[in-house]
Amino acid sequence: MSKASRVLIVLLAVVIFVAGLYITGCSKKPSKEQLDALAERKKAALAAEDLRDKKQREKADLEKELARKKAELRDAKNEKEEVKKRLESMEGN
């Protein structure tokens, strides 16, 4: 790479950097619109977090209910087997 092309690349980088600063507006204080947008994003983030927490609680409740139903099913199967064995023993007598 020649020295001229390096200088051109550095100069182009500086111009892009300065243009970026100009476009974004390097002010010390945020504008009212920026503060409003920030407040809106914060409100949306808090709402999303609340919804996530609610869904996590619902999931935990459903998992508990599923475990309870599985236990009921297991107990019912065990009872069915016991009844079946008793019936077979009664028929065998």
pLDDT confidence of residue 46: 94
Q: Tell me: the pLDDT tens digits for 56-66? A: 999 999 999 99
Task: Please provide the average confidence, as pLDDT, over all residues in the chain.
Answer: 87
Torsion of CA 85, 87, 92, 93, to 10 degrees: 120
Measure the CA–CA gap between 82 and 12, rounded to whole angstroms.
Answer: 85
